[in-house]
């Protein structure tokens, strides 16, 4: 009985962490990089902006309808003489928080439903997918309006409403990924070595199903911001919190006289959603292994 | 020369019914007036349905005993003459002999008696005919209203849309209370007004045509009225601008009013809404929290700058209102305003026991019932912050949700709009009467209770001498302005818009809720 020969570990100089590889891909996408920079700036503004520019967006600080740049107000004032710059900065926080929170919520619901359906199949899948379809066929904005109208327009309720109406895509993507991955050999191997269902689902399959879900989640932040803007434009918003959509909604009747009061927050929404969308696209390119070969 | 004489004759003839019309312009017969209603019509029968949208078609379809000129003087309409007895307890109406309904049946005192009963049972304004105990009908053309107490408010309640005489032979086929849902409230409507119904399609239009057997000879002047239903104010504005609409009433958005004023072919006027009497105010719940203290309510009045509301929010389209009675009403007595004074406001709050703690004195909520008044609510929030009152704006999902909050007094402050509806007894008392607390929206939702105010209202309701009535309402307004159950800020800037083709638009006291048999088209 001789001791087995020690085989020296093969150095594989090219094997890098997959995240590093994705970053490499992402960096190559110029549009996505620019968008990432813009997005970072917006997020920084949302976080520290209110401390640097502490004017309360609900305070009347000057005469109404003072145009941008005049009288020291960079973006002018609205119909009550409130500072639009303050509204934009303070509103960034609300818009982005709602966007991210709603996306988290829809990812949470979607992943749970999709994972259970894709993993267990059978009647569980039937039931959950019928429920998903039920939510899918409801007109989303109308459904969200109903929820907000019924339960009151507070920030958590608006977030909840947006999350509840937009999780179906995540559920379907997760399910299809689970259906694919659960048949792969390493999963079978894990199952054979006695891994419990919970471990299989969340430690083995889910991490490998994540890339498309991450992309979807990123895009969802953008659509959630739009959703919130839509709801607040219609007046279904917490009137004590300023958000971009709310600024547009409350100023829209003055659009002919003071168009900047709606264009400025409109541009803010546009730029943010576009940036999120481009970053999502970049993530898609970077994380999708099939595209990577191209 | 001939023209001048003719014009003079015309003017003289008109003076009887239209005192200040001095322009000797001869109305033209014929033509189709295109006009507009700002929301859908629930019910065309103005005997059972209140509101300005029902009022316009309602006053064309149904005639009332009296009509008013723009000087608040009653004029004959269905009643040729009328007489109030010495003790004020009987009102005798001598009806015109030739009035018929659109189906050819003659209008008699029976119809008047029936209509009073229907209105008493179904119309929301209970105070209009509450003292009317019975209506005697000694002959076909005499109706005597027997009252339990003198009721001077009855005179205005017999005009406009408030006392529509409906035919007993049509609406009397079931229970009185079922007239509210009668099948012919919206189709085949039969009245005795200057115009009869051709077509009513809700959401689209109400089309009326001239009633040839109208009891006033030679009227109406118009052949046809098309009332388009356009709910979006901006769409209506465009339609006025490009001439699609000849005329419209009850336009209230300052931006749009000012925009239309710049159009050469249009006349935009706030004349003619005195009896509608729409006033805006900041309602304060006097029964709970800090607002129960009159000093806090005064402090709020001193902190809210009416000047800002008039100039920035109303953009000069509204006028000041200080007392609960509309400024155009003969009973209005202007009160000392609360000039904005933040120091005085702060002092009052300190005195009331609300010192600044951690930057705020107190937290209050404010409600609003429709999006049009959101700027006012936002303004109050910003204005009260200056005296360290933290205000949370509460949004309501829809109008009924807000109305329920108001009706059950589940609020601190709210923006509200209430109409006087002619005599103060009809539309003003309800807000301050301590027996009318929390009886639904537009009752005494502030929980206000003052024995002297109750007494003054009770006395004014039965006082037949106009001068004494005015004095009673003078004291009433003084107390209201001092105790501030609501803070009166401005009138609702209702405006009538008409283009230069329209002659003699309705600019009396009832807005468009009046027969427009004298309106004509110049070409």
What is the ipTM metric for this complex? 0.71
Residue A282 lies in a domain: yes
Does the global pTM surpass 0.90? no
- Answer whether residue A13 is part of any domain: no
Q: Verify whether the Cβ–Cβ distance B397 to A149 is below 8 Å.
A: yes
Instruction: Decide if pLDDT at B3 tops 50.
Output: no
A256 with B381: Cβ contact below 8 A: no
Residue B200's pLDDT is: 95
Return d(Cα B243, Cα A23) in angstroms, integer: 63
Six-digit token string for A73:
């107000």
Q: What is the CATH number of the domain that holds A211?
A: 1.10.3720.10
Contact A238, A213 (CB under 8 A): no
Residue in this structure with the two tokens 């003003």, named with its chain if needed? B428
Please compute Rg for chain A using Cα positions.
Answer: 24
Quote the minimal CA–CA distance from A141 to chain B in Å: 15
Contact B397 A150 (CB under 8 A): yes
| Residue B266: predicted pLDDT | 95
Q: How confident is the model at residue B474 (pLDDT cuts 50, 70, 90)?
A: very high
Residue with tokens 């007004």: B193
- Asked whether B417 and B278 are in contact (CB, 8 A), the reply is yes
Distance, in Å, from the CA atom of B384 to the CA atom of B182, rounded to the nearest integer, reads 49
Residue A149 touches chain B, beta carbons under 8 Å: yes
In tens, the pLDDT along A165-202 reads 889 999 999 999 988 888 888 888 888 888 888 888 88
The predicted-structure confidence for A227-271, as pLDDT tens digits, reads as follows 888 888 887 888 888 888 888 888 887 887 788 888 989 999 899
CA dist B380 and B464 (Å) reads 41
Q: Say yes or no to pLDDT of A221 above 70.
A: yes
Looking at the predicted structure, is the pLDDT value of residue B441 above 70?
yes
How far away is chain B from the Cα of A135, in angstroms, using its nearest Cα?
23
Q: What is the pLDDT of residue A51?
A: 87
The fraction of chain A above a pLDDT of 70, given in percent, is 92
Kindly indicate the confidence band of residue B17, based on its pLDDT and cuts at 50, 70 and 90: very low
Alpha-helical (H) ranges within A121-205 are: 122-137, 140-151, 155-165, 168-181, 185-192, 197-199
Which three-class secondary structure state does DSSP give residue A85? Answer: helix
Highest mean pLDDT, choosing among A64-68, A262-266, B137-141: B137-141
| Residue A94 near residue A241 (C-beta atoms within 8 A) | yes
What pLDDT does A9 receive? Answer: 59
Give the model's confidence band at A290: pLDDT under 50 very low, under 70 low, under 90 confident, else very high: low
Percent of chain B with pLDDT over 70: 95
Q: Phi/psi zone of residue B123: left (φ > 0), alpha (ψ -120 to 50 degrees), beta?
A: beta
Model pLDDT, residue B515 = 94
Q: How far apart are CA A196 and CA A187, in angstroms?
A: 11
Which of the four pLDDT bands, split at 50, 70 and 90, describes residue B54? very high
Residue contact A80–B395, C-beta within 8 A:
no
CA distance A220 to B143: 72
Specify the number of domains making up chain A: 1
| Mean pLDDT score of chain B | 91
Number of H helices, E strands in chain B: 16, 20
Q: Model confidence over B304-319: pLDDT tens digits?
A: 999 889 988 898 999 9
Helix or strand holding residue A202 (H, E): none
Which 3-state string (H, E, C) describes A247-277? Answer: HHHHHHHHCCCCCHHHHHHHHHHHHHHHHHH
Residue pLDDT, tens place only, B508-523:
999 999 999 999 999 7
Structure tokens at B337: 């305003």
The answer to whether B383 contacts A82, with C-beta atoms less than 8 Å apart, is no
The pLDDT value given to residue A3: 59
Question: Per the domain annotation, does A15 fall within a domain?
Answer: no
**Count of A–B CB contacts within 8 Å?**
55
What is the DSSP-derived secondary structure letter of residue B38?
A: S
Compute CA distances B505 → B27, B160, B229, B406, B520, whole Å: 12, 15, 19, 36, 8
Among candidate residues A186, A197, A172, the one with its CA nearest the CA of residue A120: A197
pLDDT tens per residue across span B446-473:
999 999 999 999 999 999 899 999 999 9
A10 has a pLDDT exceeding 70 = no
Q: Is residue B22 over pLDDT 60?
A: no
Q: How many CB atoms lie within 10 A of CB B368?
A: 23
> pLDDT digits over B71-105, tens only?
999 999 999 999 999 999 999 999 999 999 999 99
Q: Which residues of B touch A237 (CB under 8 A)?
A: 395
Q: Which long-range contacts (CB under 8 A, 24 or more apart) does B431-435 make?
A: B431/B324, B431/B485, B431/B486, B432/B324, B432/B457, B432/B476, B432/B480, B432/B485, B433/B457
Whether residue B15 has pLDDT greater than 60:
no
State the pLDDT confidence band at B2, using cuts at 50, 70 and 90: very low
* pLDDT of res. A194: 85
Q: What is the largest CA-CA distance in chain B?
A: 82
DSSP B449-500: --HHHHHHHHHHHH---HHHHHHHHHHHHHHHHHH-SEEEEEE---EEEEET
Per-residue confidence (pLDDT) for residue B342, from 0 to 100: 94
Cβ <8 Å between A58 and B382? yes
Give the chain A residue nearest B397 (alpha carbons): A149
How close is the nearest chain A Cα to the Cα of B292, in Å? 24
Residues in chain A with CB shorter than 8 Å from the CB of B374 are 235, 239, 250
**Of A16-20, B38-42, B83-87, the least confident:** A16-20
pLDDT confidence of residue A59: 77
Q: Is residue A21 part of a domain?
A: no
What digits encode the pLDDT tens for the residues B145-175? 999 999 999 999 999 899 999 999 999 998 9
- Assess whether pLDDT exceeds 80 at residue A65: no
Q: Is A169 among the domain residues? A: yes
Residue A246 lies in a domain: yes
- Cα angle B73, B458, B137 (rounded to 5 degrees) comes to 55
Percent of chain B having pLDDT more than 90? 80
* pLDDT at B475 exceeding the cut of 60: yes
Residue B244 — very low, low, confident or very high, per pLDDT cuts 50/70/90? very high
Those residues whose C-beta lies under 8 Å from the C-beta of residue A169, and which sit 6 or more positions away, are A110, A216, A220
pLDDT band, very low/low/confident/very high, at A68 (cuts 50, 70, 90): confident
Residue A8 lies in a domain: no
Cβ(B410)–Cβ(B372) below 8 Å:
no
User: Which of B374, B381, B382 is opposite residue A250, by nearest beta carbon?
Assistant: B374
Distance between CA atoms of residues B5 and B461, nearest Å:
46
Residue B397 to residue A240, Cβ atoms within 8 A? no
- Give domain status of residue A262, yes or no: yes
Residue A217 belongs to domain spanning: 29-292
């Amino acid at each position: 009985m001789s001791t087995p020969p020690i085989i020296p570990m093969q150095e594989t100089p090219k094997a890098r962490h997959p995240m590093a590889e994705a970053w490499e891909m992402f960096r190559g996408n110029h549009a996505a990089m620019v968008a990432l920079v813009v997005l970072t700036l917006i997020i920084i503004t949302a976080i520290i902006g209110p401390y640097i520019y502490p004017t309360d967006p609900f305070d009347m600080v000057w005469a109404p309808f003072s145009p941008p740049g005049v009288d020291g107000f960079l973006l002018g004032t609205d119909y009550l003489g409130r500072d639009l710059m303050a509204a934009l900065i303070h509103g960034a926080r609300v818009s982005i928080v709602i966007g991210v929170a709603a996306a988290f919520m829809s990812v949470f619901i979607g992943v749970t439903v999709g994972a259970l359906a894709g993993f267990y199949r059978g009647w569980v899948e039937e039931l959950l997918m019928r429920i998903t379809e039920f939510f899918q066929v409801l007109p989303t904005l109308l459904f969200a309006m109903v929820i907000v109208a019924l339960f009151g327009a507070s920030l958590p309720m608006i977030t909840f409403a947006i999350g509840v109406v937009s999780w179906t895509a995540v559920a379907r993507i997760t399910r299809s990924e689970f259906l694919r991955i659960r048949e792969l050999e390493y999963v079978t191997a894990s199952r054979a070595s006695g891994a419990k269902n919970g471990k299989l689902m969340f430690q083995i399959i889910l991490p490998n199903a994540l890339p498309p879900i991450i992309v979807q989640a990123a895009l969802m932040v953008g659509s959630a911001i739009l959703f919130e803007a839509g709801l607040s434009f219609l007046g279904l918003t917490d009137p004590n919190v300023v958000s971009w959509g709310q600024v547009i909604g409350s100023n829209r009747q003055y659009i002919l006289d003071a168009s900047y009061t709606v264009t400025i927050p409109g541009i803010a929404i546009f730029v943010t959603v576009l940036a999120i969308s481009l970053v999502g696209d970049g993530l898609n390119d970077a994380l999708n292994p099939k595209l990577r070969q191209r | 020369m001939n023209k001048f004489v003719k014009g003079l004759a015309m003017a003289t003839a008109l003076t009887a019914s239209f005192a200040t019309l001095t322009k000797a312009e001869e109305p033209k017969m014929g033509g189709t007036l295109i006009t507009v209603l700002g929301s859908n019509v629930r019910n065309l029968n103005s005997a059972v349905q209140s509101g300005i949208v029902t009022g316009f078609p309602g006053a064309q379809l149904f005639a009332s005993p009296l009509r008013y000129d723009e000087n608040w003087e009653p004029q004959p309409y269905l009643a040729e003459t009328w007489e109030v007895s010495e003790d004020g307890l009987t009102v005798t109406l001598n009806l015109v002999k030739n009035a018929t309904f659109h189906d050819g049946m003659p209008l008699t005192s029976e119809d008047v008696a029936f209509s009073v009963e229907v209105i008493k049972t179904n119309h929301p304004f209970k105070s209009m005919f509450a003292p009317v105990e019975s209506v005697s009908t000694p002959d076909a053309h005499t109706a005597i209203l027997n009252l339990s107490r003198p009721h001077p408010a009855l005179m205005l309640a017999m005009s406009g849309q408030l006392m529509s005489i409906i035919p007993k032979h049509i609406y009397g086929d079931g229970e009185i209370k079922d007239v509210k849902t009668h099948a012919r409230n919206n189709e085949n409507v039969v009245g005795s007004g200057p115009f009869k119904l051709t077509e009513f399609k809700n959401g689209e239009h109400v089309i009326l045509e001239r009633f040839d057997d109208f009891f006033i000879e030679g009227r109406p002047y118009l052949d046809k009225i098309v009332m388009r239903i356009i709910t979006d104010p901006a769409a209506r504005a465009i339609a006025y601008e490009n001439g699609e609409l000849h005329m419209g009433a009850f336009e209230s958005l300052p931006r749009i009013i000012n925009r239309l004023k710049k159009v050469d072919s249009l006349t935009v006027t706030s004349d003619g809404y005195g009896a509608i009497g729409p006033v805006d105010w900041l309602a304060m719940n006097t029964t709970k929290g800090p607002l129960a203290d009159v000093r806090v309510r005064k402090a709020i009045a001193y902190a809210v700058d009416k000047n800002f509301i008039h100039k920035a929010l109303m953009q000069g389209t509204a006028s000041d209102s200080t007392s609960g009675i509309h400024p155009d009403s003969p009973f209005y007595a202007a009160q000392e305003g609360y000039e904005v004074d933040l120091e005085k406001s702060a002092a009052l709050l300190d005195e009331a026991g609300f010192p600044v703690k951690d930057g705020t004195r107190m937290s209050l909520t404010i409600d609003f019932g429709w999006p049009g008044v959101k700027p006012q609510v936002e303004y109050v929030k910003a204005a009260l912050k200056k005296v360290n009152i933290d205000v949370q704006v509460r949004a309501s999902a829809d109008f009924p949700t807000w109305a329920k909050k108001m009706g059950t007094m589940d609020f601190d402050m709210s923006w509200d709009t209430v109409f006087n509806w002619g005599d103060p007894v009809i539309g003003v008392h309800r807000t301050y009467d301590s027996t009318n607390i929390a009886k639904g929206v537009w009752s005494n939702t502030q929980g206000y209770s003052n024995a002297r105010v109750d007494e003054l209202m009770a006395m004014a309701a039965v006082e037949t001498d106009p001068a004494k009535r005015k004095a009673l309402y003078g004291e009433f307004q003084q107390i209201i302005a001092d105790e501030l159950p609501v803070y009166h800020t401005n009138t609702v800037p209702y405006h009538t818009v008409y283009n230069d083709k329209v002659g003699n638009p309705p600019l009396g006291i009832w807005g468009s809720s009046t027969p427009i048999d004298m309106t004509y088209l110049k070409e």
